[in-house]
Structure 1
Amino acid sequence: MTQIDQAKGVREGEELDAAAVDRFMKQAIPDLAGEPTIRQYPGGASNLTYQVDYGGRSFVLRRPPFGKIAKSAHDMLREARVMQALKPVYPYVPDIIAVCDDHDVLGCDFYVMERLKGIILRQDFPEGFDLSEQDTRKLCLSVIDKLVDLHRVDAKAAGLDSLGKGAGYVQRQIGGWSDRFRKSRTEDVGDFETVMTWLNDKMPEDVAQVVIHNDYRFDNVVLNPDNPFEVIGVLDWEMATIGDPLMDLGNSLAYWIQADDEGPFQMLRRQPTHRPGMLTRNEVVAYYMEKSGFRVDNFDFYEIYGLFRLAVIIQQIYYRFYHGQTKDTRFAAFGHAANYLEQRCLKLIEASTL
């Protein structure tokens, strides 16, 4: 029996005030009794996610990282609003239980949601999760299908059409991520100027305007422990917006490291896309286009954009470590990762026929 995903010990420096959490929880859910047990989920390098247990009842609390953060980043209240609006039309969103904008409680905005008890696939399959090559492929297709389903959501009917800024999404992303990179660059990381120029020169028009997740990966998907081919939840809606679906797919493929990729890329792998039976990136693109109806003759722009965006996210985190704003040693090698991603982008640009 594969273990249901569980939180672990709280990382040093990321402890919550248990008494404050308890007061808030009991005000939001009056029938709670006893004292809370608070643990932390190990994944993620951005927002912090905790499991709060009262006996047999489990909840999940999401808050921004500690330390200095960008003004527009880690907007917990927006994330909760998006989830509440999406839930009726995309049932894989967890229920929001309570939202807190009173900084006297934990010093930040946060929200509490239901805990979905299931399997989350992180870097490797968990112990006891033994799938044949054929079943691994079936699982892989099921996870891609949920991204297609999201891109089919009627944003207007869900009341989410105001979430985006309208046409010009691709242009805003290239400009925005380029600006964020330049502001977070450290002297030990390459300048990405060739990559940013290429992306700016090759920008296509938006393919469509749909609800996009912007961080759709295996470790943000919850599987039914009794039927791992069934997705019961999609997590981490912080960056969800209205935008171009192929940009969303490009973001996902930046994490899609397959079995035949070179060693340095393998070191960045954080989901089991290397397993026999998993689709290759090219197969993912072909399957997605067949199922979604969105078409493009050449996917190079979206693949390179996804890698560049991932490099910026990594660099923004590394900037905080480099300047001593966080002591989390997990981030010490992020500068090397950003440098590798620049080289990968440059190789793809050189080989591209765009």
Structure 2
Amino acid sequence: MNGRDAAGARPCDDGGAGDLGPPRAGETLDVERLGAWLRANVAGLEGAPSLRQFRGGYANLTYELRFAERAVVVRRPPHGPLPRGAHDMARERAVLAGLSPRYRPAPAPLAYCDDPGVIGAAFLVMERREGVVVRRAFPPELADCAAVERRTAFALMDALADLHAIDPVEVGLGGLGRPDGFAARQVAGWARRWETARDRDVPAFDRVAARLAAGAPAPLGVSVLHNDPKLDNCMFAPGAPDRVRSMFDWDMATLGDPLVDLGVALGYFAADRGAWGGMFSATTVSGDYPSQEELADRYLARAGLPVADVAWATAFGLWKTAVVLQQIYARWLAGATSDARFEGLGPRVPELIEKAEAALG
């Protein structure tokens, strides 16, 4: 199997969260009430909208509202208990407001609503961009491009380096986070989230946490971090695999060491992709992707940064992603979602933790 013919994969044409179709059970919206709010708060929207859901994501609920002359994207938190600080639509609006004038992949925010009476939660409205998203297979609009795996992977590294090159103060995001001691706080924070979400003992988790805490490297600098940079959080224009057109899911963006963001991205390109089992990202299927070393070199060269502790960063990325999957799986166990995909995430968690330990050597 390769990245272009994975069984069961479908092409995507969406606003960044996966296959576009009718809302899943329990995740529909009051279209009449939302449409009225949008017409009153976003210029250029007329008539009754049609509603579709981007159904490929695992976290925030993302929808397309298409009016007579224009479409917009609406994002809201998932149902059920939420980790503190996650799924923050106000934060995402602030990040996009700062970045979008300077950083081409950041979609422009259009409106924000903190009244849960409209759709049951706070929500963000953002511009709708057209393009394709890579998931378990390359969609037809990219599949025939030569060396498409390498080109899209390098495009992600370029987009990440360009993001990290932006001065947070210059775009009004100097107060977005606390960069001092960032890496150590990240390890401690994700360890706490694990304790809240875990449903079993995974002894390797604590071993990895201890080694990450003890070996946290000196920071490369202070940057705006996306916090989950991966191919299926990106959109590409058809036939254009060398540049990320849009990047999505900014609700956990913060300020910190760019090495941490790089590590998360590299974790999705693990040399042995068996742990992913065809889920979550295009890097879950085999293909001629660059090695992690090539990707790190590409990033560091474009960012103008020195050689870094890529092994620590990759291990952190895998370990953190294991916690994220565990949180999503815990929502399924608690009955907060009926999305059957979530059930399959639980067995992946120990495998990712083992990969994190292996990355540390």
TM value normalised by structure 1: 0.91
Aligned to 2:7: none
| Separation in structure 2 between the aligned mates of residue 222 and residue 151 of structure 1, nearest angstrom | 19
In structure 2, distance between residues paired with 1:257 and 1:348? 9
Secondary structure of 1:105's match? coil
Q: Tell me what 2:58 maps to.
A: 45
In structure 1, C-alpha distance between the alignment counterparts of 2:135 and 2:231, rounded to whole Å: 7
Q: Distance in 2 between matches of 1:311 and 1:3?
A: 26
Instruction: Using the TM superposition, give the Cα deviation of residue 72 of structure 1 relative to its aligned residue in structure 2, in angstroms.
Output: 2.3
Amino acid in the other structure paired with 1:122 = R
C-alpha distance in structure 2 between counterparts of 1:229 and 1:198, whole Å: 36
Rounded Cα–Cα distance in structure 1 between residues aligned with 2:141 and 2:238: 11
Which letter maps to 1:270?
Answer: S
Mark the CA change 1:272 to 1:310 in structure 2 (over 3 Å): closer, same or farther.
closer
| Closer, same or farther: CA 340–158 of 1 in aligned 2, 3 Å | same
Q: CA deviation at 1:278?
A: 2.5
Contact 2:158 2:298 in 1 (8 A): no
| Residue number among 205, 210, 214 corresponding to 1:192 in the alignment | 205
Q: 2:63 is paired with a residue of what secondary structure?
A: strand
1:59-138 to 2 correspondences below 5 Å? 59-134=72-147, 136-138=149-151
Letter in 1 for 2:85: S
TM-superposed CA distance for 1:61, in Å, is: 0.3
1:27 is the counterpart of 2:34: no
The 2-side partners of 1:326 and 1:165 are apart by 33
Q: Distance in 2 between matches of 1:315 and 1:205?
A: 29
Deviation (angstroms), 1:269: 5.4
Query: Offset of 1:92 from its aligned partner?
Result: 2.0
For 2:296 and 2:88, the matched residues in 1 are separated by 31
C-alpha spacing 1:189/1:39, structure 2 compared with 1 (3 Å): farther
C-alpha distance in structure 2 between counterparts of 1:324 and 1:136, whole Å: 37
Q: Among 329, 332, 342, which residue is 1:318 paired with?
A: 329
**Residue 164 and residue 3 in structure 1: after superposition, are their counterparts in 2 closer, same or farther (change >3 A)?**
closer
| 1:208 partner letter | G
Work out whether residues 255 and 269 of structure 1, in 8 Å CA contact, stay in contact via their aligned partners in 2: no
Residue 163 of structure 1: how far off its partner (Å): 0.7
In structure 2, relative to structure 1, the CA distance for the partners of 1:250 and 1:10 (3 Å cut) is: same
Residue 314 of structure 2 aligns with which residue?
Answer: 303
C-alpha separation in 2, matches of 1:79 and 1:297: 29
Deviation at 1:148, TM superposition (A): 0.8
Match of 1:338 among 334, 338, 349: 349
Unaligned runs of 5+ in 2: 1-10
Count of aligned positions: 347
Counterpart residue identity of residue 102, structure 2: V
Change (3 A) 1:343 1:139: closer
- CA distance in 1: counterparts of 2:12 and 2:258, whole angstroms: 33
Aligned partners of 1:77, 1:264: CA distance in 2, in Å? 34
Larger displacement relative to structure 2 (157-166 or 180-189) = 180-189
Distance 1:32 1:292 in 2: 40
> Quick one: distance in 1 between partners of 2:355 and 2:52?
37
**After alignment, is 131-140 or 94-103 more displaced?**
131-140
Secondary structure of the corresponding residue to residue 243 of structure 2? strand
Taking the aligned partners of 1:89 and 1:42, their CA distance within structure 2 comes to 29
Cα 1:127/1:138, change in 2 over 3 Å: closer
1:208 correspondence with 2:221: yes
Counterpart residue number, 2:340? 329
Deviation at 1:13?
A: 0.8
> Measured at CA, do residues 334 and 125 of structure 1 come closer, stay the same or move farther in structure 2, by a change above 3 Å?
same
Give the partner amino acid of 1:271: A
Q: Taking every aligned residue pair, what percent have the same amino acid on both sides?
A: 35
Q: Deviations over 1:136-176 (max 9, x none)?
A: 43343233211111010011111111111131111110111
Question: How does 1:220-299 map onto structure 2 within 5 Å?
Answer: 220-225=233-238, 227-258=240-271, 261=272, 263-268=274-279, 270-272=281-283, 276-299=287-310
For the aligned residue pairs, the C-alpha RMSD in angstroms reads 2.2
Of 215, 219, 242 in structure 1, the residue corresponding to residue 232 of structure 2 is: 219
Counterpart CA distance in 2 for 1:167 and 1:52 is 41
Q: Normalising to structure 2: TM-score of the pair?
A: 0.89
Give the CA deviation at 1:225. Answer: 2.4
- After superposition, give the CA deviation of every residue in 1:301-330 in whole Å (9 maximum; x if it has no partner): 111100110011011111222233333221
- Per chain length, whose mean CA-contact separation is higher, i.e. which structure has more relative contact order (CA < 8 Å, sep 6+)? 2
Residue 32 of structure 1, CA deviation:
2.6
Where does residue 4 of structure 2 map in the other structure? none
Gaps (5+ residues) in structure 1? Answer: none
SS at structure 2 position matched to 1:60: strand
How far has the Cα of 1:187 moved from its partner? 2.5
Distance, in Å, in 1 between the alignment partners of 2:204 and 2:328 is 16
After alignment, is 336-345 or 132-141 more displaced? 132-141
Which one of 139, 154, 171 corresponds to residue 167 of structure 2?
Answer: 154
| Structure 2 match to 1:8 | 21
> CA 1:28/1:204 → structure 2, altered by over 3 Å: closer, same or farther?
same
Alpha carbons 2:77, 2:87 under 8 Å: kept: yes
SS class of match (1:14): coil
